[in-house]
């Protein structure tokens, strides 16, 4: 047995990745190996450290990549190899997660372990649907029951007669396929057919779907709405509170499928903000950022310390700029006498993280904004370095030169079309399953059109939102109808513009 191996059973929460506990997230980031369930949100895996071993054991109601016995043996083996192992389980490890069986295997093997509880779907999913499982005026008790019991069993292990008459709120997990059986058991044991019921599919996620009814009609209603696993069933008077307590599915972008066309490195921020507004982001990276590292002229520029200003027009330029400095043995600290300008708060934030102070940022986050705002005296007679993409516009450089600056433009990176034209998101777009398409640069527009080819007209079937007028102009030149243009040319500005546009439509629905 290895001396240092340890296994942590970590509850990933009910679906929304933001519901994992702080401790669970810290352990996930440090783990040598992550053994995860199908019900654990896969986006959490991006938090694992580089080089961590990721093992999908695929446990869900419809899919078993490994048997429970095989999972137990896997955890023991990884622990005995001296690894810090996170067993990432949907919901809470001890609420129908078979965590107890895994702990028993670890105890038998003599391996140290720790259980990190998670937010259980039994309380979180009803809460996201606007249903409290208890309420002082109508429910002082609740029970969590497996809905996965086989209807054909000779004798049920569930005390249906006690549940039907002795508990205020019943929460069934993994029970959609047995909904009719559950209803029959409750009504045959005395629960009135008029008892309110809600079935909540994909709870806490952007695609959450709730169907409400009574024991008499819920099976037909759920079937008519095409409810499939995973789903949670809530039975009891508290379901009546839903209309007044709904909040998640009232979000302005709720259940809208939004195509995110940014690079993989940049997509997460936009996707996260869309999820906060209830949207379902679908990432189709259309560009990749590639540093230009084979140009001797670039290194020569970075050995020169005679610049008065450096103007950054994007956060992309910041990261590549710092890497280019490192290539010639310099750091941002070596530029303390150089003044720095940034177009937009995202660029400013990237500079601050890199240890560079921002001396100037225009009110409008476009090149023209700098030229309108900056006092000519700040740049007249000054040497200005302008790091940029190889295809960037020259407007800023030309404008600064008109103000009396000596400008050196240097192409640090290329934006190239992203690989992966067979992405599932493109298939969804071709099938008309995307509600909104977001564009954050001219390159994202041009490359999505190129990826779609003859089917690029499909873009006009969705609502199109652009981060600013330059991106919008590119879209229109390519025959794309532009519906939304952000007044503030930032990711938060784009989200705000979308919310304003779609909030009115939501109120009409």
Query: What is the domain-level CATH number for residue 25?
Result: 3.40.1010.10
User: According to the model, what pLDDT value does residue 46 have?
Assistant: 83
User: According to the model, what pLDDT value does residue 94 have?
Assistant: 96
273: number of Cβ within 10 Å: 18
CA 242 – CA 224 distance, rounded (Å): 20
Backbone angles phi, psi at 192, to 5 degrees: -60, 145
Cβ 438 vs Cβ 261: under 8 Å: yes
CA 383 – CA 396 distance, rounded (Å): 14
Tell whether the model's pLDDT for residue 295 goes beyond 70: no
Active-site residue among 37, 83, 435, 451? 37
Look up residue 257 and give its two tokens.
Answer: 């499928």
User: According to the model, what pLDDT value does residue 313 have?
Assistant: 85
User: According to the model, what pLDDT value does residue 225 have?
Assistant: 95
Residue 340 within any structural domain of the chain: yes
Residue 214 within any structural domain of the chain: yes
Q: Where residue 305 falls among pLDDT bands split at 50, 70, 90?
A: low
Tell whether the model's pLDDT for residue 495 goes beyond 80: yes
**What separation in angstroms does the CA of 417 have from each of 258, 323, 442, 452?**
20, 22, 12, 12
Q: Where residue 188 falls among pLDDT bands split at 50, 70, 90?
A: very high
Cβ 16 vs Cβ 204: under 8 Å: yes
Look up residue 51 and give its two tokens.
Answer: 């080089």
Same domain for 345 and 235: no
Last residue of a domain, one of 250, 275, 301: 250
Question: Minimum mean pLDDT among 36-40, 227-231, 277-281, 305-309: which range?
Answer: 305-309
Tell whether the model's pLDDT for residue 207 goes beyond 90: no
Residue 270 within any structural domain of the chain: yes
Average pLDDT over residues 5-34: 96
Q: How many helices (H) and strands (E) does the chain have?
A: 19, 20
Domains: count for the chain: 4
Average pLDDT over residues 299-309: 75
User: According to the model, what pLDDT value does residue 366 have?
Assistant: 67
Same domain for 377 and 313: yes
Same domain for 502 and 354: no
Percent of the chain with pLDDT over 90: 55
CA 202 – CA 204 distance, rounded (Å): 7
Which of 293, 310, 392 is CA-nearest to residue 348? Answer: 310
Residues 392-430: pLDDT tens digits? 778 888 889 999 999 988 888 887 777 665 477 888 899
Tell whether the model's pLDDT for residue 508 goes beyond 70: no
Q: Which residue has the higher pLDDT, 64 or 166?
A: 166
Q: Where residue 62 falls among pLDDT bands split at 50, 70, 90?
A: low
Q: Where residue 320 falls among pLDDT bands split at 50, 70, 90?
A: confident
Average pLDDT over residues 6-13: 97
CA 463 – CA 459 distance, rounded (Å): 8
Q: Where residue 1 falls among pLDDT bands split at 50, 70, 90?
A: very low
Active-site residue among 89, 174, 273, 451? 174
- Look up the domain containing 460 and give its range: 257-286+419-508
Same domain for 429 and 282: yes
Q: Is 132 exposed, middle or buried (0-12, 13-18, 19+ CB in 10 A)?
A: middle
The structure's pTM equals: 0.74
Same domain for 323 and 298: yes
Last residue of a domain, one of 417, 452, 476: 417
Measured in Å, how far apart are the chain's first and last C-alpha atoms? 61
Tell whether the model's pLDDT for residue 304 goes beyond 50: yes
Tell whether the model's pLDDT for residue 130 goes beyond 90: yes
Residue 1 within any structural domain of the chain: no
Same domain for 459 and 352: no
Same domain for 377 and 408: yes
Residue 184 within any structural domain of the chain: yes
Tell whether the model's pLDDT for residue 487 goes beyond 50: yes
Same domain for 163 and 222: yes
User: According to the model, what pLDDT value does residue 192 have?
Assistant: 96
Rounded mean pLDDT of the chain?
A: 88
Percent of the chain with pLDDT over 70: 92
User: According to the model, what pLDDT value does residue 280 have?
Assistant: 86
Same domain for 409 and 298: yes
Same domain for 469 and 443: yes
Last residue of a domain, one of 417, 446, 480: 417
Tell whether the model's pLDDT for residue 300 goes beyond 80: no
Residues 333-371: pLDDT tens digits? 878 788 998 888 888 988 998 888 899 888 777 667 778
Residues 246-276: pLDDT tens digits? 999 988 899 899 999 987 667 778 888 898 8
User: According to the model, what pLDDT value does residue 223 have?
Assistant: 95
User: According to the model, what pLDDT value does residue 506 have?
Assistant: 57
Same domain for 461 and 345: no
Question: Minimum mean pLDDT among 15-29, 211-225, 367-381, 396-410: which range?
Answer: 367-381
Active-site residue, 37 included: yes
CATH of the domain at 188: 3.30.950.10
CATH of the domain at 394: 3.40.50.10090
Active-site residue among 59, 89, 191, 451? 59
Average pLDDT over residues 384-399: 84
Q: State yes or no: cis peptide before 230, omega within 30 of 0.
A: yes
Same domain for 276 and 307: no
């Amino acid at each position: 047995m290895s001396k240092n191996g340890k296994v942590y059973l970590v509850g990933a929460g009910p679906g929304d990745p933001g519901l994992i506990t702080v401790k669970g997230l810290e352990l996930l980031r440090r783990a040598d190996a992550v053994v995860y369930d199908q019900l654990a949100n896969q986006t959490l895996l991006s938090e694992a450290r580089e080089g961590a071993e990721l093992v999908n054991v695929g446990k869900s109601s419809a899919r078993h990549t490994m048997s429970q016995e095989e999972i137990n043996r896997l955890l023991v083996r990884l622990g005995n190899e001296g690894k810090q192992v996170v067993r990432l389980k949907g919901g809470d490890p001890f609420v129908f997660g078979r965590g107890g069986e895994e702990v028993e295997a670890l105890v038998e093997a003599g391996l140290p372990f720790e259980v990190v509880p998670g937010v259980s779907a039994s309380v979180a999913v009803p809460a996201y649907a606007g249903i409290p499982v208890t309420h002082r005026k109508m429910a002082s008790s609740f029970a969590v029951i497996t809905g996965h019991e086989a209807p054909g069993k000779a004798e049920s292990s569930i005390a249906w007669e006690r549940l039907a008459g002795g508990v205020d709120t019943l929460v069934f997990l993994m029970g959609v396929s047995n909904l009719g059986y559950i209803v029959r058991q409750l009504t045959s044991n005395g629960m009135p057919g008029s008892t309110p019921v809600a079935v909540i599919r994909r709870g806490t996620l952007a695609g959450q779907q709730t169907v409400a009814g009574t024991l008499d009609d819920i099976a037909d209603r759920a079937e008519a709405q095409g409810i499939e696993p995973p789903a949670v069933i809530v039975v009891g008077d508290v379901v009546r509170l839903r209309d007044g307590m709904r909040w998640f599915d009232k979000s302005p972008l709720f259940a809208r499928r939004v195509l995110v066309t940014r690079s993989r490195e940049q997509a997460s921020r936009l996707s996260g903000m869309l999820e906060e507004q209830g949207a379902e982001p679908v990432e189709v990276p259309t560009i990749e950022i590639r540093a230009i590292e084979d140009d001797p002229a670039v290194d020569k520029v970075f050995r020169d310390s005679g610049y008065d200003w450096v103007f950054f027009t994007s956060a992309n330029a910041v990261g590549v700029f710092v890497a280019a400095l490192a290539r010639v043995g310099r750091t941002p600290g070596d530029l303390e006498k150089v003044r720095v300008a940034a177009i937009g708060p995202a660029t400013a934030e990237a500079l601050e993280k890199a240890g560079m102070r921002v001396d100037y940022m225009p009110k409008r986050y476009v090149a023209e904004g700098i030229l309108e705002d900056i006092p000519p005296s700040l740049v007249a007679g000054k040497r200005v370095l302008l790091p940029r993409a190889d295809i960037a516009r020259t407007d800023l450089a030309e404008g600064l030169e008109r103000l009396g600056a000596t400008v050196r433009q240097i192409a640090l990176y290329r934006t190239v079309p992203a690989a992966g034209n067979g992405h599932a998101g493109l298939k969804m777009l071709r099938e008309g399953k995307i509600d909104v398409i977001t564009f954050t640069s001219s390159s994202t527009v041009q490359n999505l059109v190129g990826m779609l080819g003859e089917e690029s007209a499909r873009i006009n079937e969705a609502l199109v939102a652009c981060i600013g007028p330059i991106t919008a102009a590119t879209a229109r030149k390519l025959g794309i109808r532009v519906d939304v243009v952000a007044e503030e040319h930032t990711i938060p500005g784009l989200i705000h513009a979308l919310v304003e546009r779609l909030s009115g439509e939501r109120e009409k629905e």
